[in-house]
Structure 1
Amino acid sequence: MAPVGVSDRIVTVFGGSGFVGRHVIRALAAQGWRVRNACRRPDLAFHLQPLGSVGQIVSVQANVRNTPSVEAAVEGADAVINLVAIAYESGRQTFHDVHVGGAARVAEAAKAAGVKTLVQMSALGISAESKSVYARTKVEGEAAVLKAFPDAVILRPSVIFGPEDRFLNRFAALARLSPVLPLIGGGATKFQPIFVGDVADAVAAVLGGRAKAGGTYELGGPDVQSFREIMEYILEVTGRKRLLVPLPFPIAALQAQFLQLLPKPLLTADQVELLKGDSVVSQTAAKNGFVLENLGVRSTAMDTVVPSYLYRFRKAGQFTDMHAT
């Protein structure tokens, strides 16, 4: 017997154990979906269990580079969501294998299994002409998905913020240790930061029938900010005074050649290339109705969320008097 409020609808979420995934699963569980979290390490996904009723969320082993595991994960599902992506290459985890091959494998398996709805998470600001391999493979992945599953919905969010994000938290941590913060490319790159909860609600809206089949939606928050403005905001919220130093792209790329040798790279040459383009919702998407608001989701401002988790980077944490002069 199903728990109260839980339907018989099954959604398979690839990459549900990650930062965005856990919020997506929470939103879907709240809508009554039975969630099948497909991930490489189910034994490390127990943190998802409290997000739903008993038995509502189940983790299964799957790797988007392995066809049989993908086919088994989508069997019997009504909807499939692919959130799998990598920020840098490592071993057999290459951009092409994950972003293109993996996305195509999920789409093909979903189509063959008779899945009704497929959502592919992509990224805003990508281009087939970009020198960034990350950006190019994201575009190729979208094309592969739509070829196999023409009615799939593509979501392209700008930089995502939230309690466990790897963007604001990383620079806030750096500001705690370093007297300077680098402004890659001079800090002119523009972003439209979006709250992870809004991205999750957008996914849930697609499964709720709010999206146009085969549409590509560009997701951004209420404000467009430059890289410099975001760094200034981090310093304001954390109560830190740090020197913001412009770092030309060529020098940043040179430094990245060494930083990307770390087990968990702080910066890669590919990421430097990616920062040469803005990550902002286009006027075309807004005009044609392919933005967050058209999915029935209101965007959340950074001020309403960010201080609630960046306070830990203040000198005295939650006890810091931000009004002291």
Structure 2
Amino acid sequence: MVARRNVALSDLQRPAPGGPSGRGCAAPASGRDLGSRQARVAGLRPDPISFLMEPGFDVVTGAFSYTGRFIARRLLAGGRRVRTLTNHPRRPGAEDIDVDVAPLQFADRAALVESLRGADVFYNTYWVRFRHGGLGFGDAVANTRILMSAAVEAGVRKVVHISVSNPSRDSHLDFYAGKARTEEIVRESGVSWAVVRPTLIFGPGDILINNIAWLLRTMPVFVIPEHGLYRVQPVSGEDVAEIATWAAGEAENNTVDAAGPEIISYMELVDSVAVAVRRRPPFLYLPPALTLFAANAVGMFVRDVILTRQEVEGLMEERLVSHEPPRGKQRVDDWLLRSADSLGRRYASELNRHW
């Protein structure tokens, strides 16, 4: 069933009963028009507005959440009609996004097919950040398979799958191995596809950087795993949405990174947040295990999962750095300074947002 905003839904994130890559290359030329080819030769992204203005509707998972919200807003601004598959139709701010609403119900595949039927592009942002409430990375992979099979049966023209930078099927980190498996599901589906691999996404509604700011504002010390010199390459949510909608208009299947214009160390990122919020407590450099212990202690206080082992190890392995020319334009320090007054004023709970 499809409805307008704010229909009452139960928790529908559970997997259906019975179910538990190398680097991407630069985007290939589409051959659609001379301007598009010239822009790519110059290292620029073609303007996706012409694609956005075409008639039809698109489906976005989690349009009231984080990454999906950026994509939905981009599509709506381009004149597209949007339907979202979501478990949280009453999330704060949902009333500001004019979309059709359907439940993200993995146990009812037929309903998923009907929700996707007639869609031109399916933007899939679905994933889980960590294991919780009986739902883990293996379940998220199985649910992605359900989504893809439903999209194929519904006749969706193209799937744009939001993955993560540097996924690897043989990674010892289940987060990145699981992401690689979902990419394989998308590529093997038989439908036209694009895979977009963001690094560290920042922007309004951010949890990670907001909570770094909250810790800097409230704690007597700020804990950093080891030396803090491992690198990150933040990308704005708006840039991710632009890259995703551009990829949707490409004729060929492609895998592209979504990364910002700067590569900085994690310590430089924290320093930039500290400058923005005008408070820099002493930094305490600890081994990863003790960092997680400290994060768990604060997590008990705020009743949330602040940091996971998968995230710490992925960060220290520099998995949030792209090996492609950057497609993002916005700098994280510019956004931090613009957002300084509100950033970190309140703790942002992952569990409250998604569970």
CA offset digits 1:222-276 (Å, max 9, x no partner):
1001111101111111111211121222433555676777852112222223223
Q: After alignment, is 78-87 or 182-191 more displaced?
A: 182-191
The answer to whether the 8 A contact 1:257-1:269 is kept is: no
Q: 1:60 to 1:313 in 2, by over 3 A?
A: closer
- 2:286 aligns with one of 233, 240, 247: 247
Residue in 2 that maps onto 1:203: 244
Alignment partner of 1:309 is 2:339: yes
2:75 aligned with 1:34: no
Report how many residues are paired: 292
Q: Give the aligned residue type for 2:102.
A: V
Q: Deviations over 1:269-315 (max 9, x none)?
A: 22223223111111xx44xxxx62xxxxx511123322222323599
Confirm or deny: 8 A CA contact 2:199 2:258 kept in the other structure.
yes
Deviates more, 1:252-261 or 1:27-36: 252-261
RMSD: 2.5
CA contact (8 A) 2:257 2:322 kept: yes
Question: Which residue in 2 is equivalent to 1:47?
Answer: 93
Equivalent residue, structure 2, for 1:268 = 308
Q: Would the aligned equivalents of 2:213 and 2:344 in 1 still touch at CA under 8 Å?
A: no
Partners of 2:297 and 2:170 in 1: CA distance: 26
Aligned partners of 1:64 and 1:120: how far apart in 2? 17
Bigger mean CA offset, 136-145 vs 85-94 = 85-94
SS in 1 for 2:129: coil
1:214-253 equivalences under 5 Å are 214-253=253-292
- Percent identical among aligned pairs is 23
Runs of at least 5 residues in structure 2 that lack an aligned partner in the other structure: 1-51, 346-355
- The 3 A distance-change label for structure 1 pair 254 and 128 is farther
Query: Counterpart of 1:107?
Result: 148
After TM superposition, give the deviation of residue 8 of structure 1 in Å: 4.2
1: CA distance, partners of 2:53 / 2:134: 38
237 and 259 in structure 1: CA distance in 2 versus 1, 3 angstrom threshold: closer
- Pair 1:188-2:229 in alignment: yes
3-state secondary structure, aligned to 2:342: helix
Letter in 2 for 1:276: M
State the secondary structure of the residue aligned to 1:91. Answer: coil
Of structures 1 and 2, the one with the larger relative CO (CA 8 A, separation 6+) is: 2
TM-score relative to the length of structure 2: 0.75
Unaligned runs of 5+ in 1: 293-297, 316-325
Contact 2:58 2:121 in 1 (8 A): yes
Q: 1:132 to 1:253 in 2, by over 3 A?
A: farther
Whole-Å Cα distance in 1 between the matches of residues 126 and 94 of structure 2? 17
The structure richer in helix per residue is: 1
TM-score for the superposition, normalised by structure 1 = 0.82
- What is the distance in 2 between the residues matched to 1:65 and 1:202? 31
**Which residue of structure 1 lines up, in the alignment, with residue 105 of structure 2?**
63
1:319 paired residue number: none
Q: 1:126 to 1:243 in 2, by over 3 A?
A: farther
- Whether the 8 Å CA contact 2:121–2:159 is kept in 1: the answer is yes
Letter in 1 for 2:88: R
- How far apart, CA to CA, are the structure 2 residues paired with 1:24 and 1:31? 11
Q: Which moved more, 1:176-185 or 1:222-231?
A: 176-185
> Aligned residue for 2:164?
123
| 2:211 counterpart of 1:170 | yes
Q: 2:329 aligns with which of 296, 299, 319?
A: 299
Q: In structure 2, do the counterparts of structure 1 residues 149 and 181 end up closer, same or farther at CA, with 3 Å as the change threshold?
A: farther
Hey, what does 1:320 align to over in structure 2?
none
Deviation of 1:157 after TM superposition, in Å, equals 0.5
Of the three residues 82, 87, 112, the one matched with 2:124 is 82
- Tell me what 1:157 maps to: 198
Could you say what secondary structure the match of 1:236 adopts?
Answer: helix
1:184 and 1:252 in contact (8 A); partners too = yes
Distance (whole Å) between structure 2 residues aligned to residue 168 and residue 46 of structure 1: 20
What is the rounded CA distance, in whole Å, between the counterparts of 1:191 and 1:245 in structure 2?
Answer: 20
Measure, in 1, the Cα distance between the counterparts of 2:344 and 2:62. 32
